Amino acid sequence: MPLGIGCTARPGQSRNNKTGSWRVYYPILDTEKCTKCGTCQLICPEGCITQNEDKTYAIDLDFCKGCGMCAEECPDKAKAISMHLEEK
């Protein structure tokens, strides 16, 4: 990709930066434990958690930076998200 003068970009270009490569820990969502409360989607600072048509949630690991906020904030009665060390 040639450089745009002034580091300009057209809409949607941020999807090309797959920031998931920065991650040290990655989340695993246990759909059996998940109560579908939606807290993880609300607090994810990257906006990389989305709800599927069947109301379950999915984490886009292309952009998840592994901050762990979803695992921390998942309510005690569910604790459906756990963090795991990336093997690189």
Partner 1 sequence: MTMQIMEGSIAVAETVRLCRPQVISAYPITPQTHIVEGLASIVADGRLDAEYICVESEFSALSACIGASAAGSRVYSATTSQGLALMAEVVFNSAGMRLPIVMGIANRAISAPLSIWNDQQDSIMMRDSGWLQFYAEDNQEAVDLHILAYKICEDHNILLPAFVCFDGFILSHVYEPVDIPDQEAVDAFLGPFNPYQKLDCNDPISFGMYATPEYYLEFRYEHDQAVKRAAEAFKKYGKEFGEKFGRDYSELVTQYKIEDAETIIIAMGSICGTIKDAIDEMREAGKKVGLLGIRCFRPFPSEDLRALLGNAKRVAVLDKNVSLGAKGAVALEVKDACYGMDLPIYDYILGLGGRDVRKSDIKNIVALCEEGKGDMFYGLREEVL
| Interface with partner 1 (CB under 8 A) | 3-11, 13-14, 17
Region of residue 42 (phi > 0: left; psi between -120 and 50: alpha; otherwise: beta): alpha
Q: How far is the CB of 86 from partner 1 (least distance, A)?
A: 19
Our CB check for partner 1 shows the closer of 27 and 66 to be: 66
What are the backbone angles phi and psi of residue 55, rounded to the nearest 5°? 75, -5
Q: How far is the CB of 44 from partner 1 (least distance, A)?
A: 19
Would you tell me how many other CB atoms lie within 10 Å of the CB of residue 63?
20
Our CB check for partner 1 shows the closer of 14 and 52 to be: 14
